[in-house]
Every structure is written in C-alpha cells, then in structure tokens.
Structure 1
Amino acid sequence: MRGSDPRRFADIALSDQAIDWMVRLHSGTAGESERSGFSTWRETSPAHEIAAREAEALWHGLGRAGGSVRAESKAARGKLTRRTLIVGGAAAALGLGAAVSDPLRRKVLADYSTGVGETRDVVLPDGSRAWLNARTALALSYSAARRGVRLMEGQALFTVVPEPTRPFFVAAANGWTRAIGTAFDVDMRAQSVTVTVVEGVVAVGLEGGSREGVTVRADQAVRYGPQGVAAPQSLDAGLATAWRRGKLIFNRRPLEDVVSELQRHTHTRILIAGPSLRAQEVTGVFDLDDPQSVLDTIEQTLPARVLRLPLLTVIL
C-alpha cells in the first residue's frame, strides 16, 4: 500500500518541494532572496540535496545530473519518469510561446469567444442562438445559400431557427454537423469532437466524406476524429449539457474527459501523470464556480494523489 513506508512519503514530499523551487526560480520573477532560499533549503540534509539535483536534472532535460541522481538513490530512480511529466507540464504552464500563440490567434479570428470560466449566450444573424462554454471561439460564414459556423475551440450548444432553403452547418476539426431546426451541442477536444443532440435530428460527417453523414437523434451523441465517425450512442442529453446550468455532472466518465472539461474553468494547467490513470472513472455533481471540488473528489475517491504547484496541478 502507498502509506506503508513513511520514508517514501518523505522522499515524495522533498521531491515536490524541490520541483516547487524550480517553478519559482524559473518563473521570471525570482530574485536573490529566492535563489538564496533554495541554496539554504538544499543544504538542509543529503536527502534535500538529492531532491534538488533531481529537480534540476528534470528541468534541464535529464542530462548528466539525472544519471548521477539515479546512481545515488533508488527512490529518486523510481520517481524520474513521473517527475519528467511534472516538470514538462510546469514549463508549459509558465506560458512558453507556442503553447499560447494558437489559442490567441483563434480568438483574434473569432466573431464570438469566451475566456476561462466564462459562458456566453449569443444571438446569431439568423436569430439562432449559440450558448458558448468557457474557452470557446466561434467564427461565422453566412451566405444566401447556407448558414455556416466554425467552432475553432471549446464547446457550444446551438438552438437553430428552421430555414428549409438555407441549412445550418457547424464545422469543427475535420468534420461537420448539419441541422435544419434543432438543438445540439458540439464539444471539441484535443483528439475528437462529440456532437450531442438535445432536440430534433442532425447529420454528422467528415470533410471530404459522404454528404449524407450519420444521422443522430435526440438523446444521442456521436464522436468523430481522425479515425472516422463512430456509431451514435444513447445518453441523457440534459445531463451531458448540464454546463449550461452551471453544473458539471459526471457519470462514470474517464478521468481524461473530466480533466479536459475542468481545464476550461481554471487558469491552472492540469496534467495526468500516467496513462493508467486516464481511464479511471469519476462520478459526481459539481458547481462550475468551484472546480477545486472536482480535484478534491478525485483525490478522495480514486487511487490518485493531487499535487498542487504554482500554475500547475498534477494528478498522479
């Protein structure tokens, strides 16, 4: 069991503290007092020195110092792979250029957008409505023949005014959703897009594929991505779109999906350290204005620990 060896907890605590120091020292605001404080901390004991050298090695890419640390401590050797994930995420959380340029570019090109933790109800030019979840961007492309919307990032629920001669399309990633008069949700994630139908019927297809697409009805959802369009699955659309009511409702949802949703409502970067954790299931009802309660539940109900650092949270 994880709590059977007190020395292991001590090693983890020192490693966490050392990584905390690395984040502070490389934040761009550290001064002489922080550098002096780290020097004093690492001189506290040999174990502190090993933890400091491990954190430095990981931060700089596991070079020669990393090999030295592995030779000195079995405990350090057992944590290296996990800590590599942590420090890599810390660097990304500090706002390195490529990580933020693409979202900023999308927001500049968008007609409507929302920020972290913000939702917004907008009326489109034809009278249809789009309810934008947090971290969402939409661009419009309306013409006399069709009503086009591109979901550039995030999630939006559309309530479409019927116009039989001018269909309504939502493009997202490598696919599209077509509706004439209906309400449906489009959720764009890193690896796939999920379309959930609240009312009516929609067709979902891939760019360059069949024009007919896959038919999806009320209380069904379909997911598509690089591998194609999956078969529609039945669900409770009201629960799946509870974010409109300020709630997050998860019923045996994979932790990876939960974190993806949670990330929209917090500025802190959240990482899952290890593929086996991503499939762990989460169940619960939470308020959107309290994302930390989701992390608390994860720590209390799953075989996982939540490590909170400046600008970064790691589930391990």
Structure 2
Amino acid sequence: MPPMTAHPPRHDFGPSAQEQADLREYADFAATQDDVALAAATWFSRRDNLDARQQAEFDAWLAGDALHAHAYAQLQDTYRAARRIPAQVAARWAVPQAVPAPSPRRPLLRSLRMLPYAAAAMLLLGVGAGGYQWWQQPTFSQSYATARGQRLAVSLPDGSQVQLDTATQLHVTLYRQRREVRLAHGEALFQVQSKQGQPFDVLSGPLTVTVVGTQFSVRNTLAHDAQLRVAVQHGQVRVAGAGQDQVDLRAGQGVSSDAGGRLSAVASLASGSVAPWRNGRITFDNVPLGAALAEFERYGDTGFVVRDAAVAQLRIGGSFSLTQLDRFAAALPQLLPVQVVRSGSVSTIGMAPKAAAQAPAMQLPKNK
C-alpha cells in the first residue's frame, strides 16, 4: 500500500482582526452618508472597471430614480472641478496608499473590493467637505453702488478696473479659478485683466457675459426701459441669453436683450459710443425725444416737461453734456421743430408755433 500523503486540514476562521476592523470602519462611514450619494460615489469610482453585467446594473440604478441621476451628475461636476485644482494644492490633501499584506483568503478579499471604492467615495465626499470647499471659497467679495448722478471707479485685486455709472449696483466675487460680477441694475464699464484659467463672468438679468481680457460695458435698465445692453470697446466677449441663444462680440459691436433673455441682432457701434458717461456726456442715435429726456433723468432732475405725445416721439441724435442742460435746451429748437418755455424751475418743451400750424401734415401714422 502506498504511503498516505497527509494533507493539512482546511479551516476557515472567518475574517482576520484587521479585515473586521476595515469592515467596521466602512460600516461606520456608510452609516453617516446619504444612501444615494454614497451609491453614486461608489458607482463613480468603479466607472472604468465595469463588465457587461455591472454596466447593466449601473444603467438600471441610474434610470431607477431621478435622484440617482442628479447625484451622479453632481459627482461628475465635482470631479471635473477637482481636476482643475493645481497639483501643488492637491498634494496637500494626498493620503499615502497603504500596501495590503498578502492573504490566503482570496474569496473574502474579493468580497472586500468595495473597500477601495468606499475609500474613493470617502475621498470625493471628504474633499468636498474639506479641502475642495476651501478651494471653492472666494478670495475677495465686495458690493459697490452709486447713487443717482454719482459715478465710481473701482480697482479690483486681480488688476481689473470697473467704472460704475449712475444708480448702479453690483457685487464682485473673486475665486481661485474664476471671477464673477453680478450687476443688479445700472451700467458698468469693465477693463478686465487677463488671467490664464480664470474667466471673468458678468451676470445681469438673464445674460451672462464671459471674457478673458477686454474692455466692455454692460447695462441693465430693465426697470427703466426693459433693456439690457452689452457693448465692446476692446477685445472680445461672449454673450449668452436664454436657452442656447449666444453671440460673440468684437470691438465696436453691441447687442441688446429683453427681460426674457432674447438677444437682438449684433449692431455696429459709433466711435466713442461705449460708456460716454465716463467723460460726462450722453449720446443718442435717432431716439425719441421722450426716451432721451428719460435718460437725462437717470442722472438727476432736469426740469424738462413734455405734455404732447407727438413732441415726445420726435427723434433726436447727438452727443450732449450731462452737466450743461442749458446748452441742450438751447440746441433743441435748432434740432427739432420745438420751442422751450421756461417757468421757474420747469422747462416745457412743446411744438413750435409754425410747426403746430402744420401739425396735420406732421401727424404720425396711426396703428392699424
């Protein structure tokens, strides 16, 4: 009889103490997390290592609830933003990888493959709660405002310059990876200092104006004339309106928008027409007299009164001083068939006597 070969008995004593500690650590971590967010992070960490069956499971999970798709999309956005963090900053948060000791318990180790995924989830969620939130914090945040008739020049920490027109309110927020201005109302001229990897966005009403380095003005007078306007003096900007509506503007071009974000056709601008208020002037290009007077009123009381609708519709063009209204009043009868009658502090603009006698021939066509 051949000698019997002794085989060592096979025993399975369950997970080791270290493996049990790993399981407890993961269970403690998972208990503190939102189930959907944790599942999204786990799927995201496995996204490049899914076989056909796992891909089908992931697709089913994604389609099973709108919250799943939303959580996964948020994680994708966070990941893309985290990739833009400079290497020298990310290195501060790096965690040394522990080298796992060899173990004969291959089935159990396969069941613990979720632990690296949980570690990835911890990293994504932890960075979002710690270092990444620090990276996202503003480096500068300040509000600026001007009263009626006031103007203000501001130098920003990034080297950009902002000039505020009358009755303007805006808020500037500078981040490490972007710069943002929210123009509530009024008009401002921006001279943006180019910064690689730091776009400069101006948000006003439904519009977003994005630049890298240029000089342009943004005007929000929705409450005044239901219009927003963007005008470029140097460089190039991109104006995004409602939906997919957007346009690129170069120097000497402008565009307007209504309150719904619908952009007009791109217009060519006259020389010197971008923010003329910087030089104490106001420019009109074939606008109704009533609109011109309302624009003057934005800067202060003028004392001008128009009681005749036909007079208010007469069109005027030219460049005028904001501080010398007497010259504007003196020029009006030379530019339009009107007369200016002053009584105390009020100047009434009416049709000139000769023009009034010819009024039937000058009537505007009626709407049909």
TM-score by length of 2: 0.49
Assess if the C-alpha contact under 8 Å between 2:233 and 2:274 holds in 1. no
Letter in 1 for 2:289: L
Assess if the C-alpha contact under 8 Å between 1:196 and 1:220 holds in 2. yes
* Structure 2 residue 215 is the aligned partner of structure 1 residue 183: yes
Q: Which residue of 2 aligns with 1:193?
A: 228
Unaligned 5+ runs, structure 2: 1-141, 351-368
Q: Which residue of 1 aligns with 2:295?
A: 261
Unaligned 5+ runs, structure 1: 1-109
* Structure 2 residue 267 is the aligned partner of structure 1 residue 233: yes
- Aligned mates of 1:177, 1:311 — CA distance in 2: 42
Trace 1:10-89 onto structure 2 (pairs within 5 A). none
- Aligned mates of 2:248, 2:237 — CA distance in 1: 6
Query: SS state of the match for residue 323, structure 2?
Result: coil
Query: SS state of the match for residue 287, structure 2?
Result: strand
Q: Which residue of 1 aligns with 2:163?
A: 131
Compare relative contact order (CA 8 Å, sep 6+) and give the higher one, 1 or 2.
Answer: 1
Assess if the C-alpha contact under 8 Å between 1:222 and 1:229 holds in 2. yes
TM-score by length of 1: 0.56
Offset at residue 256 of structure 1 (A): 4.2
- Aligned mates of 1:175, 1:310 — CA distance in 2: 44
Q: Which residue of 1 aligns with 2:250?
A: 217
Letter in 1 for 2:201: F
Assess if the C-alpha contact under 8 Å between 1:262 and 1:291 holds in 2. no
Larger radius of gyration: 2
- Aligned mates of 1:263, 1:209 — CA distance in 2: 34
Query: SS state of the match for residue 273, structure 2?
Result: helix
1:266/1:145 CA distance change after superposition, 3 Å: same
- Aligned mates of 2:170, 2:270 — CA distance in 1: 26
- Aligned mates of 1:170, 1:308 — CA distance in 2: 43
Letter in 2 for 1:224: S
- Aligned mates of 1:272, 1:175 — CA distance in 2: 34
1:193/1:270 CA distance change after superposition, 3 Å: farther
Q: Which residue of 2 aligns with 1:163?
A: 195
Offset at residue 308 of structure 1 (A): 6.6
Q: 2:322 aligns with which of 277, 282, 288?
A: 288
Report the RMSD for the aligned CA atoms in angstroms.
3.0
Assess if the C-alpha contact under 8 Å between 1:198 and 1:237 holds in 2. no
* Structure 2 residue 177 is the aligned partner of structure 1 residue 145: yes
Offset at residue 282 of structure 1 (A): 1.4
1:143-186 per-position Cα deviation (integer Å, ceiling 9, x unaligned):
23321112222111100011231211112222121111110011
Offset at residue 271 of structure 1 (A): 6.4
Over the matched positions of the two proteins, sequence identity in percent amounts to 30
Q: Which residue of 2 aligns with 1:113?
A: 145
Query: SS state of the match for residue 294, structure 1?
Result: helix
1:292/1:177 CA distance change after superposition, 3 Å: farther
Assess if the C-alpha contact under 8 Å between 2:296 and 2:302 holds in 1. no
Letter in 1 for 2:215: A
Assess if the C-alpha contact under 8 Å between 2:232 and 2:274 holds in 1. no
